[in-house]
Structure 1
Amino acid sequence: MIVDCAIYRDGRRTEGPADFSDALDEARAEGHSFLWIGLHEPTEKEFELVTSEFGLHPLAVEDALKAHQRPKLEVYEDSLFVVLKPVTYDDDADTVTTSELMLFLGDSFVVTVRHGEGSPLAEVRHRLEQEPEVLRHGPAAVLYAVSDAIVDQYIDVATELQADLEELETEVFAPVGKDSKNTASRIYAFKRQVMEFRRASGPLTEPMARLTGAGVPFVPEPSRPFFRDVSDHLTRANEYVDGLDRLLTDILSAHLAQVGVQQNDDMRKISAWAAMAAVPTMIAGIYGMNFHDMPELRQPWGYPAAVVLMAGLVFWLHRYFKRRGWL
């Protein structure tokens, strides 16, 4: 559905005609104005009117309707099509959620199509309307402001992930307990969230690099330094994500090594107790063979001597394993 529609004249918002065609003709005739239409999860029928009035390319329209696109920049004859993926992080559930935001830029118009609930588009529009000097740059100003807000969102989410990762790191290097299996599951789950984040931020590098150079229509030369600033922030966000991914791999390896060491220590303890149990079992087995001609069998001190021998050997083995660190 159409969320918002307005003409921006010299950086100031004015309500445009209800008919898209009249509004677009009016904006183009004035020269310093442009039309901004915002849609949220439009159906094919709802989008047909916008497509016909603005001459949008059918391939871009298909991508905008179906969503599930990777971040990209595509240049068509009469418009520029950009796909961005905002991200949000639920600290309670430890989940990264991505949504999608598509922008069509053309001669005196911007059409934004939003899928999901994580887009900062409403905040961006409100902030831009407080900065008419930015809106005077036309549709490219909208693309810059939206891109900048989404990339700043990446940095905020990366910072939250870093804080949670430090907590997870503290938990991993704590003494291994009954919840060690749950810790491994948390590491894997965290790694999946970082991977989801990378799918949103990583592919955006190439489109931002193109916007900083020449040859992209509907992006005037004075706008390129602003996109270079967004590209720098995106590089910083991607470095955050790469660092998180490497650290998670190291934490997982350290956790598995810690579990292996603990298991080896448990096996040594089990082996030590088994060795101590084997000695009295062996002696009792020998004296339980019921031969008549066995030494000490008919001596009154035979039984206590066997018990003392078993206790002494077990005590010696216990001291020996204790000194070796097995117990």
Structure 2
Amino acid sequence: MTSRLYVNGRLTAEGFGIDEAGERLRTAPDAVVWVDLDAPGAADLATLADEFGLHPLAVEDAVQEHERPKLDHYRNHLFLNVYAVTFDDADGTPRKTEISAFITPRALITVRKTPFDLKTLTQRWDEEGRPAGAGVDFLVYGLLDLVVDGQYRTAQRIDEAMDTVEDRMLGDGPAPRDVRRRGFVLRRALATLRRAVAPMPDVVRDVAKELAGDDHLRPYYRDVEDHARHAVDLIEHSRGRITELLDDDLAEQSNELNVVTRKLAAWAAIIAVPTALTGYFGQNVPYPGFGKWWGFLLSCALMLAAASGLYTFLKRRGWL
């Protein structure tokens, strides 16, 4: 558990327990509190629900995994669910951290199902040059700004990873198997990322309508919404790009297959003509060693050598 208390925009206390959070708010009328829980148990959430009047359905959504990005309205608080995203270059898979948040007039309570670097979030809150004050609306802005920036960076890294795939796919002939597999992995990564990012512009806009009452915070929320829309546009562009690359490679494979089929048909025709003639006239010419014991071995060796040579030739050409 991580906790912080802000009074008039200044950090005055941190590291206190759940039971102290409500008491500190009651003793400091101008204070707001942030409480973060990493994979909390039912007892921890029950204590928070009693202390801050959290709705049971919102508590249930915070415990369950794979909730969609959304903003739900309850009588005395809001429930926000978003996904922080990073990208692993090694296997081309986005890593998602589901973050649920209870937003009350004087408290922000975040719940995480998996580990997440909170230092970046607290540094963003503590930066100078931010809007005056540190109310809950500012804390939520910092959270959304961090999440959306991470989503946009992940979309950029996937788009950059496609440059290498594109360069190798645009070479002569079909792309190697490992390049095609990399392309399919990136397309799957984009589909995974899209599910987390696509709803974010609407979520940010809804949060701004509820919280950005002061004029000085509205431009900041609009900036986050704009970044979220850029992330969605980049993902859609990248999806179209990788799909076109894979389709072009499939067409190139079809062209290559047509060339191979034409060559095989030509060789078959060349061999079929003398075979048809000799079969029609029933020719039976004695071969070297005809009637000898070693002649049979010689004929078998010739057939095996011819078949092996043809197999080697076709294998090197990539036809087998």
Does the Cα contact within 8 Å between 2:169 and 2:249 map onto a contact in 1? yes
Please tell me whether the aligned partners of residues 75 and 81 of structure 1 are also in contact (alpha carbons under 8 angstroms): yes
Q: 2:191 aligns with which of 186, 192, 195?
A: 195
CA 1:239/1:126 → structure 2, altered by over 3 Å: closer, same or farther? Answer: same
SS in structure 1 of the partner of residue 109 of structure 2: strand
1:152/1:120 Cα in 2 relative to 1: closer, same or farther (>3 Å)?
A: farther
Q: Residues 194 and 183 of structure 1: is their aligned pair in 2 closer, same or farther, counting only changes over 3 Å?
A: same
Once the two structures are TM-superposed, the CA of residue 179 in structure 1 deviates from its matched residue by 3.4
Give the partner amino acid of 1:281: T
Q: Report deviation, 1:31.
A: 3.6
Partner Cα distance (2:130, 2:196) in 1? 30
- Stretches of structure 1 that go unaligned for 5 or more consecutive residues are 291-327
TM-score by length of 2: 0.81
Deviation at 1:30, TM superposition (A): 3.4
Find the counterpart in structure 2 of residue 230 from structure 1.
224
What TM-score, normalized to structure 1?
Answer: 0.79
CA contact (8 A) 1:128 1:134 kept: no
1:189 is displaced (CA, Å) by 2.3
For 1:20 and 1:134, locate their aligned partners in 2 and report how far apart those are by CA, in whole Å. 28
Deviation sequence 1:148-192 (CA, Å, 0-9, x none): 111111121111111111111122222346834x44433322211
5 Å-filtered alignment, 1:1-327, equals 2=1, 4-15=2-13, 18=16, 20=18, 23-28=21-26, 30-117=28-115, 119-131=116-128, 134=131, 136-176=133-173, 179-180=176-177, 182-213=178-209, 216=210, 218-222=211-215, 223-289=217-283
Native 8 Å contact 2:3 2:15 kept in 1 = no
**Alpha-carbon distance, 1:75 to partner:** 1.4
CA distance in 1, matches of 2:13, 2:190: 42
In structure 1, how many angstroms separate the alpha carbons of the residues matched to 2:273 and 2:17? 97
Hey, what's the Cα distance between the residues in 2 that align with 1:255 and 1:67? 38
Cα distance in 2 for partners of 1:18, 1:99 equals 25
AA matched with 1:237: A
By how many angstroms is 1:88 displaced?
Answer: 1.1
On the 8 A contact 2:201/2:229 being kept in 1, the answer is yes
Distance 1:270 1:17 in 2: 76
- Note if contact 1:103-1:112 (Cα within 8 Å) is conserved in structure 2: yes
8 Å Cα contact 1:95-1:193 kept in structure 2: yes
Deviation at 1:120, TM superposition (A): 4.5
Deviation per residue, 1:68-108 (Å, 9 max, x gap): 11110111111111111011110011111211111111121
**Does structure 2 conserve the Cα–Cα contact (< 8 Å) formed by 1:24 and 1:108?**
no
Aligned residues: 284
User: Match of 2:198, SS?
Assistant: helix
Residue 258 of structure 1, CA deviation = 0.6
Query: 8 Å contact 1:108–1:139 — kept in the other structure?
Result: yes
Q: Is the 8 A contact 2:174 2:256 kept in 1?
A: no
Question: Does the 8 A contact of 1:28 with 1:107 survive in 2?
Answer: no
* % identical aligned pairs: 29
Counterparts of 1:133 and 1:156 in 2: how far apart (Å)? 22
| SS of structure 2 residue aligned to 1:221 | coil
Q: In structure 1, what is the Cα distance between the partners aligned to 2:17 and 2:185? A: 49
Larger radius of gyration: 1
Question: Which ranges of structure 2 fall in alignment gaps of 5 or more residues?
Answer: 285-320
Distance, in Å, in 2 between the alignment partners of 1:194 and 1:246 is 10
**RMSD (Å), alpha carbons:** 2.4
